[in-house]
Structure 1
Amino acid sequence: MGKRSRTKTRTRLATPGEVGPRQPCPCGSGRRYKACHGAAGGGPAPYVGRPFEGLTSECDLVAMRDLVPAATAPLALQDSERQVVLCSVLPGAAPALVRDSGAIWLGLQVQHDFGDPARDLGAVLVRALDAETGVVGLTDPPGPGPRLQDLVLDEPWQVTVHDGFDFWVSDLDEVPEALQAAIEQANAAASPTRRLSGVGAAYWTDVGAKEHLRWVMPQPEDALLDALARLHAAGQDRLVPDGRLVGMFRAYGLLAPVWDLVPGTGAAALQEPAAAFAEALEQALADETPLTAQERSARSGLANRQVTIR
């Protein structure tokens, strides 16, 4: 009986056109089918490759979510005067905190992922607007509803990069001992980071043995790779002496080129070179001539040095 039952099961799972429960879900989420759209109720929302597209500060949002340890940016809502502050991360990776003042702190680095981070943020924000105080979050897929882009005014964000996580308690008169200990632990693990002025979403960071510049860029991947390859082949991609473009991250549909820098470079030394590079990049993006053999080789090398975060 047992053998016949197992045979029947294997035959059922091999039905032509049927997706097996342990196979990747066809929606592209990266989950197994049984944990995604094969789950009871149809699973989470379909995966969205570029969830924050349309926001003027899309690149800064991606940087704050995946590259910057401690940063905040005030958000203006479309239909409310409520104070909302977007935070790279909140204590315990909380999705949102409603403060005693009524201000809403909205966290980017969270533990849930239901396929569309912009929809998740929208759902958390809607719930926080109805809450009095405390932690607000999601335990189940939020379902249909507004995304972050539908709730906020599309204005350039004023991003503040903090030296640590003391901003978590900036509005408190007394800090609980456990929270202070969590802040000290988080501060010890955070790499010093600065946002360059004059260019968009470029962040210098000191990781100890090296310094890096990580620059989230909004251009489509193919066009950006072509332009970077042109600049690399022409020797125009070194921002400072002994600094070199070593690869790039891919996150939420955007590329973030990464430069290795020698210790002691600092953020200030990158300001003018970064502005000049931005101008050269625009010219390279406008170049529609076919890539040369040297440029094609450079492009292949850059494409092979990509690390996908999300």
Structure 2
Amino acid sequence: MAKKSRTKSRTTAGAAPAEGAVGPRQPCPCGSGKRYKACHGAPGGAVAAYVARPFEGLPSECDIVAMRELVPAATAPLTLKDDPERTVLLASLLPMAAPAMARESGQTWLGLQVQHAFGDPSRDLAAALQAALAADEPGIVSMVEPPVEGPRLQDLVTGDKLDVTVHEGFEFWIADLEDTTGMEAALEQANGAATPTARLTGVEAAYWTNVGTKEHLRWVMPEPEDELLTALARLHVAGRDVLVPDSRFVGMFRAHGLLAPVWDLPLGTGAEALEEPADRFAQDLAEALADTSDLTSEERSARSGLAGRQVTIR
């Protein structure tokens, strides 16, 4: 007996799919990484569309992006608009990758390195923060479903600049606890995965790290991508993008709407040796950003090469 056709109509009889329609198994155009049928194509759809630059307008936006994507262990206090005396700690990573925690000490902790793929990390963070603030008992706040429409983190916090502290490990997880029984294994595992990292003091959101085989400087910058690429191309052609001898500008990360240029550094460089060169580079970059002249053919070629050396994280 002949097999039945495995091809089935996916549209209502007599109806044709709209031109440009997204198929149910195709990636959702919101950028969540899910299939359309499991995201905006699901019954009720997703809560909100993908936000390309979710942390824009927050204090120290570039540091927040770095803490979320590049820095293993760092913290920064947040100031709430409605309750400035309340202790809220923003952390790169919390125990068990928790979105937020209500601590026994009365503090509220908010974790950045949680990948919900709900479309707008700022809204997700705000929802986790509100849940932790409203918790009746200490514990972890989990989020398995997209949050309902509500405020974004920009609506809840205030301030011009964050006071970022980079930690050698995750001992801050237990700093406010009297009884740390049972946490030793998790702490040891987390510390073992943390690469040595330091934040430069003279410029914003520039982080040195040692990954064992080499050192890097990763510097999150706030300028629009097109303008920044043009300025970096000018500096590259002029030979002004070398920070220290034998260092090399190798490309950029793109994360949450911002670019993070990356330099390879020889082993033994350290963070302190980068302070003066980074300050000088920041001044050169400002000069290149202000240059509105047409690019030379060599600069255009360099710009094209830089554009091809970008890795999108988020």
Q: TM-score, normalised by structure 2?
A: 0.94
Give me the whole-angstrom Cα distance separating, in 2, the residues matched to 1:35 and 1:109. 23
Q: Superposition RMSD on alpha carbons, in Å?
A: 1.8
C-alpha distance after superposition, 1:122-177 (max 9, x if no partner): 11111111113111121211121111110001320010000001110001122122
C-alpha contact 2:59 2:158 (8 A) present in aligned 1: no
User: Counterparts of 1:298-309 in structure 2 under 5 Å?
Assistant: 298-309=302-313
Give me the whole-angstrom Cα distance separating, in 2, the residues matched to 1:44 and 1:144. 7
**1:167/1:146 Cα in 2 relative to 1: closer, same or farther (>3 Å)?**
same
Give me the whole-angstrom Cα distance separating, in 2, the residues matched to 1:127 and 1:219. 34
Give me the whole-angstrom Cα distance separating, in 1, the residues matched to 2:230 and 2:12. 48
Stretch of structure 1 that moved more, 107-116 or 254-263: 107-116
Alignment pair present for 1:16 and 2:18:
yes
Corresponding residue number in structure 1 for 2:88: 84
Stretch of structure 1 that moved more, 5-14 or 84-93: 5-14
Corresponding residue number in structure 2 for 1:143: 148
Corresponding residue number in structure 2 for 1:153: 158
Give me the whole-angstrom Cα distance separating, in 1, the residues matched to 2:115 and 2:62. 21
Q: Which amino acid letter does the alignment assign opposite residue 142 of structure 2?
A: G
Give me the whole-angstrom Cα distance separating, in 2, the residues matched to 1:119 and 1:56. 16
* Residue of 22, 32, 37 corresponding to 2:35: 32
Corresponding residue number in structure 1 for 2:46: 43
Corresponding residue number in structure 2 for 1:53: 56
Corresponding residue number in structure 2 for 1:173: 178
User: Counterparts of 1:91-110 in structure 2 under 5 Å?
Assistant: 91-110=95-114
Aligned residues: 309
C-alpha contact 1:36 1:44 (8 A) present in aligned 2: no
Corresponding residue number in structure 2 for 1:71: 74
Return the offset for 1:14: 6.0
For the residue of structure 2 that corresponds to 1:126, the secondary structure is helix
C-alpha contact 2:30 2:119 (8 A) present in aligned 1: no
For the residue of structure 2 that corresponds to 1:41, the secondary structure is coil
Corresponding residue number in structure 1 for 2:293: 289
Return the offset for 1:23: 2.1
User: Counterparts of 1:2-13 in structure 2 under 5 Å?
Assistant: 3=4, 6-9=7-10
Consecutive unaligned residues in structure 2, runs of 5 or more: none
User: Counterparts of 1:160-309 in structure 2 under 5 Å?
Assistant: 160-177=165-182, 179-309=183-313
Q: Which amino acid letter does the alignment assign opposite residue 231 of structure 2?
A: A
Give me the whole-angstrom Cα distance separating, in 2, the residues matched to 1:134 and 1:20. 41
More helix by share: 1
Give me the whole-angstrom Cα distance separating, in 2, the residues matched to 1:97 and 1:73. 15
Consecutive unaligned residues in structure 1, runs of 5 or more: none
Give me the whole-angstrom Cα distance separating, in 2, the residues matched to 1:4 and 1:258. 54
Give me the whole-angstrom Cα distance separating, in 2, the residues matched to 1:212 and 1:274. 13
**1:28/1:135 Cα in 2 relative to 1: closer, same or farther (>3 Å)?**
closer
For the residue of structure 2 that corresponds to 1:38, the secondary structure is coil
For the residue of structure 2 that corresponds to 1:22, the secondary structure is coil
For the residue of structure 1 that corresponds to 2:9, the secondary structure is helix
C-alpha distance after superposition, 1:277-300 (max 9, x if no partner): 001100100000111111111111
Return the offset for 1:275: 0.5
For the residue of structure 2 that corresponds to 1:277, the secondary structure is helix
C-alpha contact 1:70 1:161 (8 A) present in aligned 2: yes
Give me the whole-angstrom Cα distance separating, in 2, the residues matched to 1:308 and 1:249. 6
C-alpha distance after superposition, 1:234-256 (max 9, x if no partner): 00000101011000100000000
Give me the whole-angstrom Cα distance separating, in 1, the residues matched to 2:16 and 2:8. 11
Return the offset for 1:5: 7.8
Give me the whole-angstrom Cα distance separating, in 2, the residues matched to 1:8 and 1:167. 57
Give me the whole-angstrom Cα distance separating, in 1, the residues matched to 2:122 and 2:197. 25
Q: Percent identity?
A: 67
C-alpha distance after superposition, 1:250-279 (max 9, x if no partner): 000000000000000000000011001001
Q: Which amino acid letter does the alignment assign opposite residue 116 of structure 2?
A: H
